[in-house]
Amino acid sequence: AYGDPFVKSAIDVDLLVPEDVVPAAANVLRTLGWRRVMPAFRETPLRRRWYDSVQKDDAFTGGRAKVELHRRLFNNRSLFNPSFDRLQAAAATVAIGTRRFRTLDDADQLLYLACHGALHFWYRLKWLCDFAALVGVMDRETVRRALADGHRAGLGTVLASALRLCREDLQAEIPAAGASAPAPGPRERFVVALSRRVWTPRSGVRRLGPKAAMRMGRGFLAGGLRYRLHEARALLIAHGDFARVNLPDRLFWLYPLVQPALLAQRIFRGRL
């Protein structure tokens, strides 16, 4: 979208592999000298199953770089979860320097950026700029196809809020979106309002309101019982707490009960 990949800063590299290939891919990274940094707890069968059900990736570091090994696009399978085979069949090939890489095609990339930004309520404004920049280089028919696919997948709120933020806050019009955009609704207004709120830096206890709203607000991004159940389960237990409280699997049911104390500890340390 920017013409030159080297004008963009990068925090990490995301690699998507079929879910059943994750253990083998992780072994390849270890063989190459990469070290896993997430999950960062003592693994037990139940902890690992829980982690895999609510988290999309394992993270590795090597030198000054970071790789996230994705088993799916998003933590919540009910948000946007096309099969690996479907994504691979539509994938585009791009050149970076002398090498060529496979990546999501423009339509899938647009939906991915919209979902990723909405899940974080666009707290990094550059994510919204990425979304607008990509739309700016896509042909109208591909934009219309992506938006239509998104609406069929239940991403109406995600797309409508992204388009509205682009239009009103970046002055980036998306002509091809006109006929596909749904009528504004309460969920869209919530996403837009919270996104604008988190763009204002806050410190101390003033951070807690927006942070809590972002965590709880994810439940409004999409409809469906499965989507909301996943969000509730992810709030029930924070996987980082496995490293703080080392309970055996037979006492796994205690983790939700100690959440209030662990949450208070994170707030006190400024890590919420």
Per-residue pLDDT of the chain (272 residues; tens, 9 = 90+): 666 766 777 788 999 999 999 999 999 999 999 999 999 999 999 999 999 999 999 999 987 789 999 999 999 999 999 999 999 999 999 888 888 999 999 999 999 999 999 999 999 999 999 999 999 888 889 999 999 999 999 999 999 999 999 999 998 877 666 544 555 688 999 999 999 999 988 776 677 788 888 888 898 888 888 999 999 988 888 888 898 888 899 999 998 888 888 777 766 665 54
SS (H, E, C) the chain: CCCCHHHCCCCCEEEECCHHHHHHHHHHHHHCCCEEEECCCCCCHHHHHHHHHHCCEEEEEECCEEEEEECCCCCCCCCCCCCHHHHHHHCEEEEECCEEEEECCHHHHHHHHHHHHHHCCCCCHHHHHHHHHHHHHCCHHHHHHHHHHHHHCCCHHHHHHHHHHHHHHCCCCCHHHCCCCCCCCHHHHHHHHHHHHHCCCCCHHHHHHHHHHHHHHHHHCCCCHHHHHHHHHHHHCCCCHHHHCCCCHHHHHHHHHHHHHHHHHHHHCCCC
For Cα atoms 222, 150, 18, give the angle at the middle one, nearest 5 degrees. Answer: 90
List all residues 6 or more positions away from 67 whose beta carbon is below 8 Å from its beta carbon: 12, 13, 14, 15, 29, 34, 59, 60, 61
Closest CA to 197 of 214, 184, 185: 214
Angle among Cα 98, 103, 108 to the nearest 5 degrees reads 150
pLDDT value of position 215 = 85
Q: Quick one: angle between helices 255-268 and 225-236, nearest 10?
A: 70
**Angle at CA of residue 59, ends 56 and 60, nearest 5°:** 155
Asked if 191 and 148 touch (Cβ cutoff 8 Å), the reply is no
